[in-house]
Structure 1
Amino acid sequence: MIRVGETLPDGVLFEDHPTNPIKMSDLLVDRNVVMFAVPGAFTPGCSRIHLPGYINTAGEMKSEGVHEIICVSVNDPYVMAAWAEKNHTKGKIRMLADPSGEFIQAIGLGMNISALGGYRSKRFSMYIINNEVKELNIEPDGTALSCSLASRLEYKKYSNKKEKKEDETSNQD
């Protein structure tokens, strides 16, 4: 299982369509990224609580130096695209599909939930800086809604807002 201080393995996820592969290394290198995962798109907890929490804090997270917010689920890209459209995530959160669960398996955060179709992702959130995991919150049973919520992620702790202000001040000289 991935741990704080480790780098994420490269992998390919899909956005909107199976012909739109996204290499994780392209998203994570030299960037501050919030990644969270859900057991399944359109499931009640994911749709009513988990995803909306990230949608509602996306602007604040980005103002604190987060370059990208990514939602990952072991679903096909069409399902993730439909869920993204229904929840108006464009410009806020990238909805990435891991259809075979390979990426989730590579980071050791998968589980078998036969009622949801078999292999799925545990519910988690993480803060990543330059592909290194700085914070990792995994729901104890894999599905609860507590530590992986947007409100629990300590993204302000990693803010580069202060550095940006210092750069702007030095550029005015």
Structure 2
Amino acid sequence: MTLKVGDRLPEATFKTMTADGPAEMTTGDLTDGKTVVLFGVPGAFTPTCHQNHLPGFVEHAETLKDKGVDEIAVVSVNDVFVMDAWKQATNPAGNITFLADTAAEFVQSAGLGLGPVPIFGHVRSQRFALIVKDGVVTFQAVEEPGGGTAKTGAATILEALG
């Protein structure tokens, strides 16, 4: 199944780093009763993800929240320690939740997996962006493999929010 507008996010459990160490967060924990921007990247610290995709959301986090977004989250098929190191390296000022989809459970169940990709060695996430309201997808965009962030960047999400 490939996720589409009007679908509920599939149940999955992510890993996230807290002050007390690694913890779990489900899709329900992330989205119930909230408007969430969830974007997926092929890998933390990879060039387009690190230099282009994430920085746009860091830069526009307050504007997204002013438009009614309760939470901004990035997901990647990396371990929780890599995602936490990426968070520390990019200093998002607490505005973005970093989610590790360690075994690609979420991206595969949402039809947003990519690969296995030789450069990464296993299944990764496609580059995507979703607006989710109380667990239901209201906007979805997916980039072509190897493409940029024109469909899934913060500017496009701001436009979609009106």
The answer on 1:84 being equivalent to 2:87 is yes
- Matches of 2:145 and 2:101, distance apart in 1: 21
**Equivalences, count:** 157
Distance 1:105 1:143, change over 3 A: farther
| TM-score normalized by the length of structure 1 | 0.86
Structure 2: stretches of 5+ with no match in the other structure: none
Task: Tell me which residue corresponds to 2:28.
Answer: 25
Determine helix, strand or coil for the equivalent of 1:137: strand
The answer on 1:15 being equivalent to 2:16 is yes
Q: 1:134 aligns with which of 138, 141, 146?
A: 138
Task: Tell me which residue corresponds to 1:4.
Answer: 5
The answer on 1:156 being equivalent to 2:161 is yes
Task: Tell me which residue corresponds to 1:169.
Answer: none
- Matches of 1:142 and 1:126, distance apart in 2: 19
Task: Tell me which residue corresponds to 1:100.
Answer: 103
Structure 1: stretches of 5+ with no match in the other structure: 158-173
The answer on 1:65 being equivalent to 2:68 is yes
Q: Is the Cα–Cα contact under 8 Å of residues 81 and 95 in structure 1 kept in the other structure? A: yes
Task: Tell me which residue corresponds to 2:120.
Answer: 116
State the shift of 1:64 in Å: 1.2
Instruction: Could you list the structure 1 runs, at least 4 aligned residues long, displaced by more than 3 angstroms after superposition.
Output: none
Determine helix, strand or coil for the equivalent of 2:10: coil
Q: Is the Cα–Cα contact under 8 Å of residues 22 and 80 in structure 2 kept in the other structure? A: no
- Matches of 2:161 and 2:133, distance apart in 1: 13
State the shift of 1:11 in Å: 0.9
State the shift of 1:155 in Å: 4.5
Indicate the RMSD between aligned Cα atoms, in angstroms.
1.4
Identity across the alignment (%): 36
Rg larger for: 1
- Matches of 1:96 and 1:142, distance apart in 2: 22
Distance 1:66 1:49, change over 3 A: same
| TM-score normalized by the length of structure 2 | 0.92
